[in-house]
């Protein structure tokens, strides 16, 4: 147990030191956790693949091999706001173009049907970096950039327990760290940086209902976070960012104490073999954005339902091919487009492709590509004007797995 505890501390320290930046795709959430699951559209709750499955379903620890995983993703979003010719046309928020997203996991079987593991991953975030030409009402034209950078990392120590040979339950304690930075939004030319922490939990169940099929369930409880003191006005509505016409971009009078809580999420799913070499996995997830005042009142987001579909085909003894599709209707309502210029989470459809290549010494390498197709949302911003938000995304990830 002491050996396991040391590994947990090592992974925790590593995750804090590299502080991943994530620009999320399903609202403020990634399509999935772990490179193999991302290659399969995020389908994971009934699809145990490796230690990164623990980030979705803690009960998966009873069905995966002992070992560890590490991964790195290069994430490239393209986000724009089009105010129309009368207000200066198109402004892109891509002054920061690419982001590195690391991840890691570990699992060890204990006695009496118990397993211990830990997953470390970026669970959400948002970034917009408008150039100095952006019409920021808080400063003279062309003198300051405008945007936000929100980072969120999970460290999830996990215990799973086999009820019998075919069924297991699990619990993850989610240690969450956040960082929030705003530029030029509160007062001219200023940058405000805050950090916050919180503790939450995820419960899970995983069962084998036939030799070729599994079902799974997980529920992540809402995590109450500490407040972002320096950026509290952005959440509380006291001093708020405004668009090119002077219209407010967030709800006036909202009182959040600067908190950006982590919404709860429920995921159910099934996986099954359609042939001895081909497995299909399907997840349905609901993310409860309405639980978080800063998100629901500030950006006008409601809950989001996400469908995740993936397939993995064992081509030969060395190579497995993967593909996935992920769809979640945009959380940005057209009538609230003006509230989301600094958080244009409008993508809906995601296609992913990947390959897992067996190496020597019980190890494998995975390579994953994901594309989020461009989507646009247009809505009023006051004074008879409107704004059209658009975004598409590309990412390339690599993962390494080793079993003991």
**pLDDT confidence of residue 135:** 66
Burial 334-368 (b: 16+ CB within 10 A, else e): eebbbbbbbbbbbbbebebebebeeeeeeebebbb
Compute the distance between CA of residue 127 and CA of residue 258 in angstroms, rounded to an integer: 18
Domains of the chain: 2-403 (2.40.160.60)
Element (H, E) at 6: helix 2-18
Query: 184's torsion region: left (phi>0), alpha (psi -120 to 50) or beta?
Result: left
**pLDDT confidence of residue 19:** 44
pTM: predicted TM-score of the whole model, two decimal places: 0.89
Compute the distance between CA of residue 9 and CA of residue 227 in angstroms, rounded to an integer: 25
Question: Which residues fall within 8 angstroms of residue 78, CB to CB, at 6 or more apart?
Answer: 92, 94, 374, 391, 392, 393
DSSP per residue, 97-149? --EEEEEEEEEEE-STTEEEEEEEEEEEEEEEEE-TTS--TTS-TTS--EEEE
**pLDDT confidence of residue 182:** 86
SS3 state at 5: helix
Compute the distance between CA of residue 277 and CA of residue 317 in angstroms, rounded to an integer: 10
Question: Which residues fall within 8 angstroms of residue 163, CB to CB, at 6 or more apart?
Answer: 113, 169
**pLDDT confidence of residue 7:** 40
Compute the distance between CA of residue 374 and CA of residue 382 in angstroms, rounded to an integer: 25
**pLDDT confidence of residue 230:** 86
Compute the distance between CA of residue 83 and CA of residue 57 in angstroms, rounded to an integer: 42
**pLDDT confidence of residue 178:** 94
Three-state SS for 309-325 is EEEEEECCCCEEEEEEE
**pLDDT confidence of residue 142:** 56
pLDDT in tens, the chain (404 residues): 444 433 433 333 333 334 444 556 899 999 999 999 999 999 999 999 999 999 999 999 999 999 999 999 999 999 999 988 877 788 888 988 899 999 999 999 999 999 999 999 998 888 888 876 676 655 555 556 788 899 999 999 999 999 999 999 999 999 999 999 888 777 666 788 899 999 999 999 999 999 999 999 999 999 999 998 888 877 764 334 445 554 555 444 455 678 899 999 999 999 999 999 999 999 999 999 999 988 888 888 999 999 999 999 999 999 999 999 999 999 999 998 988 888 899 999 999 999 999 998 899 999 999 999 999 999 988 778 889 999 999 999 999 999 99
Q: Which of 282, 217, 204 is nearest to 43 (CA)?
A: 282
**pLDDT confidence of residue 138:** 56
């Amino acid at each position: 147990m002491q050996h396991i505890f040391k590994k947990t501390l090592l992974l925790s320290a590593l995750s804090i030191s590299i502080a991943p930046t994530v620009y999320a795709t399903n609202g403020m959430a990634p399509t999935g956790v772990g490179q193999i699951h991302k290659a399969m559209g995020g389908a994971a709750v009934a699809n145990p693949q490796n230690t990164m499955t623990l980030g979705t379903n803690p009960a998966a620890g009873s069905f995966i091999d002992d070992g560890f995983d590490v991964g790195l993703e290069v994430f490239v979003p393209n986000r724009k706001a089009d105010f129309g010719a009368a207000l200066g046309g198109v402004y892109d928020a891509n002054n920061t173009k690419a982001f590195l997203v690391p991840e890691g996991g570990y699992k060890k079987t204990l006695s009496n049907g118990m397993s211990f593991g830990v997953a470390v991953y970026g669970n959400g975030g948002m970034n917009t970096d408008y150039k100095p030409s952006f019409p920021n009402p808080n400063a003279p034209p062309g003198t300051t950039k405008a945007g936000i950078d929100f980072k969120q990392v999970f460290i999830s120590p996990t215990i799973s327990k086999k009820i019998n040979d075919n069924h297991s339950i699990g619990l993850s304690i989610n240690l969450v760290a956040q960082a929030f930075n705003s530029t030029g939004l509160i007062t001219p030319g200023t940058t405000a940086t805050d950090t916050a922490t919180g503790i939450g939990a995820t419960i899970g169940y995983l069962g084998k209902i036939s030799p070729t099929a599994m079902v799974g369930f997980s529920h992540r409880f809402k995590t109450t976070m500490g407040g972002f003191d320096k950026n509290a006005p952005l959440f509380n509505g006291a001093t708020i960012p405004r668009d090119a016409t002077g219209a407010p971009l967030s709800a006036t009078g909202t009182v959040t104490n600067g908190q950006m809580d982590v919404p709860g999420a429920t995921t159910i799913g099934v996986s099954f073999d359609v042939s001895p070499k081909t497995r299909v996995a399907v997840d349905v997830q609901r993310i409860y954005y309405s639980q978080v005042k800063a998100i629901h009142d500030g950006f006008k987001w409601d809950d989001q339902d996400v469908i995740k579909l993936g397939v993995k085909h064992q081509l030969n003894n060395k190579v497995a091919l993967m593909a996935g599709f992920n769809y979640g209707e945009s959380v940005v309502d057209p009538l609230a487009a003006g509230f989301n210029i600094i958080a244009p989470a409008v993508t809906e459809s995601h296609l992913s492709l990947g390959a897992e290549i067996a190496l020597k010494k019980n190890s494998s390498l995975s390579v994953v590509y994901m594309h989020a197709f461009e989507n646009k949302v247009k809505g009023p911003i006051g004074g008879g004007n409107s704004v059209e938000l658009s975004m598409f995304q590309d990412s390339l990830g690599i993962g390494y797995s080793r079993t003991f």
